[in-house]
């Protein structure tokens, strides 16, 4: 099975989180995940949580995001400049924060946090069930088209988002395989 990857850097602003989430979704749809599927929504929520936490704790430094689809696994890596590793919390019903990483841990097949030389990396992996990916024809404009039942079609294009620098490879520090705890 073909491998796909997408990396980008974003400023640590709340507005950048929504842009990054759209970037992740566009990439996953371009690679063949069904728009609107439970799997896509699950990965979107996890990406949003990981990116939000990184932006919140990055001390105004840029945050890097890498998404990879390899075989039957989607992996999201989010790196920030804070050396402080997240601590598992047990929020009460009245707490407004503290559930994000619990949600990621519940949804992901694997999740981990690792210190890096520049801060930390939080990552999560998601199993892609057999048949969940479809091969999508690409148009000359670079957009991806899908014909829906009934003959109508949809088109997705990786957005050009201000403040995001997109590359088509993983930085070396994200290439090595890792296992969850």
DSSP 115: E
Mean pLDDT across the stretch 125-131?
91
pTM here is: 0.72
Alpha helices in 11-166 (DSSP H): 14-30, 38-57, 100-107
The reported pLDDT for the residue numbered 176 is 39
How many whole angstroms separate alpha carbon 4 and alpha carbon 70?
Answer: 6
pLDDT in tens, 2-53: 789 999 999 999 889 999 999 999 999 999 998 889 999 999 999 999 999 9
Give the pLDDT of residue 139: 41
The span from the CA of 25 to the CA of 28, in Å, is 5
Which range has the top average pLDDT, 32-36, 59-63, 123-127, 168-172?
Answer: 123-127
Confidence class for position 102, pLDDT limits 50, 70, 90: confident
Helix (H, G, I), strand (E, B) or coil at 105: helix
Six-digit token string for 180: 């969850």
Greater confidence, 55 or 140? Answer: 55
Q: What share of the chain is helix, strand, coil (3-state, %, to 5)?
A: 25, 30, 45
How distant, in Å, are the alpha carbons of 26, 33, 73, 81 from that of 117?
Answer: 30, 34, 26, 9
Strands 73-80 and 63-70: antiparallel
Q: What is the pLDDT of residues 76-92, one digit of tens each?
A: 999 999 999 887 777 77
Q: Which domains does the chain have, with CATH numbers?
A: 4-174 (3.30.565.10)
Alpha-helical regions (H) of 7-123: 14-30, 38-57, 100-107
């Amino acid at each position: 099975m073909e491998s796909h990857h997408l990396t980008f850097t974003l400023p640590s602003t709340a507005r950048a989180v929504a842009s990054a989430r759209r970037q992740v979704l566009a990439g996953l749809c371009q690679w063949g995940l069904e728009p609107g599927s439970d799997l896509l929504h699950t990965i979107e929520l996890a990406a949003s949580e990981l990116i939000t936490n990184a932006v919140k704790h990055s001390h105004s430094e840029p945050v890097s995001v890498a998404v990879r689809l390899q075989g039957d696994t989607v992996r999201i890596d989010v790196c920030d400049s804070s050396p402080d590793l997240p601590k598992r919390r047990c929020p009460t019903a009245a707490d407004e924060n503290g559930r994000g990483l619990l949600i990621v841990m519940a949804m992901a097949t694997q999740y981990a946090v690792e210190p890096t030389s520049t801060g930390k990396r939080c990552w999560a992996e998601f199993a892609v069930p057999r048949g969940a990916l479809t091969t999508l024809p690409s148009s000359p404009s670079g957009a991806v088209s899908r014909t829906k039942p009934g003959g109508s079609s949809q088109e997705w294009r990786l957005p050009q988002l201000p403040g995001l620098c997109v590359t088509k490879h993983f930085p070396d520090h994200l290439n090595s395989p890792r296992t969850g705890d």
